[in-house]
Amino acid sequence: MSSADANAISRLEVELGARSYPIYIGRGLLADSELLGKYVDAASAFVVSNETVAPLYLDQLVKTAGLDPARSVVLADGEQYKNIASMQKIFDAMIAGQCDRGTTILALGGGVVGDMAGFAAACYQRGVRFVQFPTTLLAQVDSSVGGKTGVNHPLGKNMIGAFHQPGAVFIDTNTLDTLADREYRAGIAEVIKYGFIRDREFLQWLHENMARLLARDPDALRHAIMRSCACKAAVVADDETENGVRAILNFGHTFGHAIESATAYSALLHGEAVGLGMLMALDFCKRCGLIDAHDFESSRQLIEAAGLPVLLPHTVSSGKQLLRLMQHDKKVKRGRVRLVLLKSLGEAFITGEYSDELLEELLESYVSQV
């Protein structure tokens, strides 16, 4: 790929009939007034961002799209602010800014901002349009696409929300220049996930290009984001509201959520817990005879090469605790934990049929490594 390609803009489509929308991927999209102008009407736009991202990119978006800077709200930064109180702040600011049903909300930030801005768009005057400007790798490859929006409740993550698809997604890969390394690697975990669940060829590409990706090489990054978004878009188009196949996107997440919960969401970033969760899921596939030792070992090496943790945090002390937490996951159906497993690398399926004994053995073996 030539360096001229690195400056090109790629476009993908999320095919959802009347709710279809484009995903644009490229360097410097936040400065592209012609393209933004097609999707953002300056007079009716309202920006939701946070105190970290706004100082970095809000001025640029305001200038490029010709927005009124007063029509925006800047929220506190952090998952702990992904709650109803922040929603109230968004609604207060929108009402003060005289937003109406013709308003388009622009979400400028990571997954936390995107989920809240999207939920505000689903609710405000029974629903307004919104456009995503994701600025973390995780948001660019995962949360900005697919229309899941919402906030946390003190008793559970993402408990309050709605399906509400954006009108467009603008992925300006330049925004990743300011993203912390740890956040970046956490995003790579979700990128690798797409290879495992649906795209063996991409998995091979990741093996060959992980060093370039970690160095944030623009061509490699764009390819990785394209393949990830294409995969997410295809799964979402098949099953918009997660009645079936969309659940494969949760590969590694049932284990990962249990780890996050066992460590009170403080030891690991979500992507790090997912990396470890995928490792455990792959190990389980090996123990169940679904994949062989060679495929498991190369997968483990890929996760490790991405700089993701492969050992549980010290504070996780019992396999039984993890099992209990897994049973509280949203994916439980009639008391049975349904797991996303692989038939082979690049092909996921969802099942409640597996040996509990093997699962307990697996969990104990990871706890005993700590």
Ligand X SMILES: NC(=O)c1ccc[n+]([C@@H]2O[C@H](COP(=O)([O-])OP(=O)(O)OC[C@H]3O[C@@H](n4cnc5c(N)ncnc54)[C@H](O)[C@@H]3O)[C@@H](O)[C@H]2O)c1
State in angstroms the smallest separation of the CB of 169 from Zn ion: 17
Residue number, nearest CB to Zn ion: 274
Residue 216 a catalytic site member: no
Beta-strand runs (E) in the chain:
10-14, 21-26, 45-50, 72-75, 104-109, 129-134, 148-153, 156-163, 168-172, 332-333, 336-337, 339-344, 347-351
Judging by beta carbons within 10 Å of its beta carbon (0-12, 13-18, 19+), is residue 18 exposed, middle or buried? exposed
Per partner kind, with CB cut-offs from 5 to 8 A, the member of Zn ion, ligand X, none near residue 40 is none
- Active site (annotated) includes residue 330: no
If the CB atoms of residues 221 and 274 are measured against Zn ion, the closer one turns out to be 274
In this structure, which long-range contacts are made by residues 261-264, counting pairs with CB atoms below 8 Å and at least 24 apart in sequence? Answer: 261/325, 261/328, 262/315, 262/316, 262/321, 262/322, 262/325, 263/313, 263/315, 263/316
Q: Least distance (Å) from ligand X to the CB of residue 237?
A: 15
Shorter beta-carbon distance to ligand X: residue 78 or 352 = 78
Which of 79, 242, 304, 360 is the catalytic position? 242
Among 82, 246, 257, 286, binds ligand X (CB under 6 A): 82
Report which residue type is found at 286.
K
Task: Determine the size of the site formed for Zn ion (CB under 5 A).
Answer: 1
Going by C-alpha positions, the residue among 137, 173, 190, 212 that lies closest to residue 24 is 173
Interface with ligand X includes 254 (CB under 6 A)?
no
Return the number of other C-beta atoms located less than 10 Å from residue 104's C-beta: 22
Residues 249-308 touching Zn ion, rule: CB under 5 A, are: 274
| Min dist. Cβ of residue 245 to Zn ion (A) | 17
Task: Tell the smallest beta-carbon distance from residue 253 to Zn ion (Å).
Answer: 6
* Residue 219's binding partner out of Zn ion, ligand X, none, with CB under 5 to 8 Å set by partner kind: none
Q: Is 110 in the site for ligand X (CB under 6 A)?
A: yes
Residues 6+ away with beta carbon under 8 Å from 130: 104, 105, 106, 107, 117, 118, 120, 121, 164, 166, 167
**In whole angstroms, how close is the CB of 274 to Zn ion at the nearest point?**
5
Residue 25 φ/ψ, nearest 5 degrees: -130, 125
CA torsion angle for 178, 179, 185, 190 (degrees, to 10)?
Answer: -120
Say if CB 348 and CB 195 are below 8 A apart.
Answer: no
Tokens of 178: 């300011």
Q: Does 143 bind ligand X (CB under 6 A)?
A: yes
The residue type at 137: L
How many other CB atoms are there within 10 angstroms of residue 107's CB atom? 29
Which one is catalytic: 71, 82, 129, 232?
Answer: 232
260 is a catalytic site residue:
no
Look at the block and give the residue holding tokens 């505000």.
Answer: 120
321 in contact with ligand X (CB under 6 A): no
Among 90, 117, 142, 338, which residue sits at the site for ligand X (rule: CB under 6 A)? 142
Query: What does the block give as tokens for 268?
Result: 């690991």
**Known active-site residue 270:** yes
Q: Is 223 a catalytic residue?
A: no
- The binding track of 182-201 with respect to ligand X, each residue x by CB under 6 A or -, is -x------------------
**Binding of ligand X at residue 250 (CB under 6 A)?**
no
193 tagged catalytic: no
Residues annotated as part of the active site: 126, 148, 190, 232, 242, 246, 250, 253, 257, 270
- The residues of the shown chain that bind ligand X, judged by CB under 6 A, are 50, 52-53, 56, 77, 79, 82, 109-113, 115, 135-136, 138-139, 142-143, 146, 148, 158, 175, 178-179, 183, 270
- The residues of the shown chain that bind Zn ion, judged by CB under 5 A, are 274
